[in-house]
Structure 1
């Protein structure tokens, strides 16, 4: 056999990677002019935040970290966990009014070793205080807006390096499409055994799936009175489009596509109705999804109706976000001019009374 015939071609692959975790934190110093009066060597700290399963905090020295550096703002990243020799890279930045890093931001640092708890690394001379305080009078690179300072920190925790040398690539399983099959079953009505009349529309559904997803439907359809339940159930106090969205979630575990197509005002209204329906039928995940949607759309025009809804359905986080938004007499006056304020006044008088006392 010739040499050329005996030759065989082969190719292999290996890959070296560093396992890492990346996270960030935004520290809002609301009253810089007061913070700088605490004195040289005195720091203010951010809340503790998690990156890579470890606790971290930002240390800010508004009047300087040491007497010889008192003309500078000092910034440090501190390890708050009981851990040793943690390797991490980090970047500290001051953000301007456009939420962009200042041109004075130092280059990316690290990776460094944080030796133990309370070990801090950073900059004694992060930025001159004179430059920082004069920035509020500049149209660009304004770092003090309304006496507020924004410190942004990105942390990259380095873990164990890995060398991968796969001989055979594993077969990737496709994502689950069960929800698509269930939605098609809902749309076709095939095998349905219960019909709902809602707002002049009818909806065919399947008792077994309704009962599996909702404890309320389970009690209604398979409880002690199940033999007396009609195959046709009328719901008077809900709009057809809301019940349709509720059924879509029950079958697909996701919001109806309609939510992405609606204008903001209509989407907020739909989320409010779906939250009430979710609470009524014990669909906790849908309730939390609607809470999240509504919390991102809080403004002067929506906060009154959203606050009333949060109070009536015991949504503590959503209620706190609404109350935090109405944090001044000026905002409250704007809210009073909305149609939703009348609903808040009649449905939640005690809550409104407490809010008035808070605002003086």
Structure 2
């Protein structure tokens, strides 16, 4: 009897993409450097290699580009036969979106990726843009040029069938820590918030909040304290913050307020954002900010805008101002 042992593999060619935004201020002061002289962007990394954008205000050489500006992308780290795709975009600063795009990505099927042989190898255009046209165009504004560069480094990998099939369970760390909070096992600190008491664990609080870390273990902290009285925060808000500290997710509102609580989701998120800022919980602050961005209304935009201003939530502030301008004639704008 003949046994067949079939096998298979898959070769996958793909690009690792990354982008860099390069701004040149004082374009007029760069003119006159001479052909072959360039202004370089900062080095940026894509696909494990360093890259830089070279801008030649007087062209790369006299013969081909004395009337043009030249732009190139250069390999800025050691490497041989690095294959990549490129895109150079000169940004239209009038807001019309008429950018000047030179894309190697679009021609990949025709010519394939470009190969850079060694450090200093370049891809780009000697005659990127006629200088006289550039200087009267919307690409130059306030003596400033802006470019966007995308590099796609080609990688090859071989995909083989897995020799195992193990179902990975989801992480239950948050559930386990939340159980620790609810069961009060090993608790070593009690918070008095209003008329309610909350037991917690100093090490967990210190690991999550720089404010608690300083309070318990800082230079003037007291690791032996076992009681803390907190003012200017509602018990339900503190409970919600504790649940986030342990479970790393926003709690269910019914879980913290009960079915008879009359506050809206927006009011709770507003108070929770302020608490997150107070205790240095940046992730919770951003979660609240995102939630409030979804809940802006004519009834809440004023208080939410004030909150955004007070706690430095720039995206939330922008959403409130946009909503107010569109719906209230800018009445809530500071």
Task: Report if TM-score (shorter chain) is over 0.5.
Answer: yes
Aligned to 2:315: none
2:113 maps to 111
Q: Deviations over 1:204-240 (max 9, x none)?
A: 43556446656457559x97746xx35xx31236565
Aligned to 1:145: 141
TM-score, L = length of structure 1? 0.59
Residue equivalent to 2:53: 58
- Mapping for residues 82-101 of structure 1, pairs under 5 Å: 82-97=78-93, 98=95, 100=97
Alignment of 1:184-199 (within 5 A): 186=181, 189-191=182-184, 193=187, 194-198=189-193
**How big is the shift at 1:41?**
2.5
Name the CA distance, whole Å, in 1 between partners of 2:274 and 2:140. Answer: 37
Question: After superposition, what is the alpha-carbon deviation per residue over 1:337-358, rounded to whole angstroms, capped at 9, x for unaligned?
Answer: x99xxxxxxxxxxxxxxxxxxx
- 1:76 corresponds in structure 2 to 72
CA distance in 2, matches of 1:96, 1:65: 23
1 CA distance for matches of 2:15 and 2:101? 27
* Alpha-carbon spacing, 1:65–1:287, altered in 2? closer, same or farther (3 Å): same
The reply on whether 1:178 has 2:173 as its aligned counterpart is yes
CA-CA distance at 1:153 after TM superposition: 0.8
Alpha-carbon distance change, 165 to 107 in structure 1, aligned in 2, over 3 angstroms: closer
Give 1:168-247 correspondences, 5 Å limit: 168=163, 170-183=165-178, 186=181, 189-191=182-184, 193=187, 194-198=189-193, 202-206=197-201, 209-210=204-205, 213=208, 215-216=213-214, 219=217, 225=224, 229-230=226-227, 233-236=228-231, 243-244=238-239, 246-247=241-242
Q: 1:63-119 CA distances to partner (integer Å, 9 max, x unpaired)?
A: 322223122221101111133332222111112244957255344365222222222
In 2, distance between residues paired with 1:238 and 1:35? 57
Q: Is there any run of 5+ residues in structure 2 with no aligned partner, and where?
A: 254-264, 294-305, 313-332
Q: Is the 8 A contact 2:86 2:103 kept in 1?
A: no
Structure 1 unaligned blocks of 5 or more:
1-5, 137-142, 279-285, 308-337, 340-360
Look up the match of 1:313.
none
SS at match of 1:38: coil
Flag the 1:75–1:200 CA change in 2: closer, same or farther, 3 A.
farther
1:48 aligns with 2:43: yes
Q: Which secondary structure state, in structure 2, belongs to the residue aligned with residue 64 of structure 1?
A: coil
Whole-angstrom distance in 1 between the partners of 2:128 and 2:54: 12
Match of 1:33 in 2: 28
Give the distance between the partners of 1:70 and 1:207, measured in 2 at CA: 69
**Alignment partner, residue 332 of structure 1:** none
Q: CA RMSD in A?
A: 4.5
Structure with the higher helix share, 1 or 2? 1
Partner of 1:3: none
- Kept in 2: contact 1:94–1:101 (CA 8 A): no
Task: Tell whether 2:125 aligns with 1:132.
Answer: no
Go from structure 1 to structure 2 and tell me whether the alpha carbon gap of 1:219 and 1:72 turns closer, same or farther (over 3 Å shift). Answer: closer
Task: Compute the displacement of 1:120 (Å).
Answer: 1.8
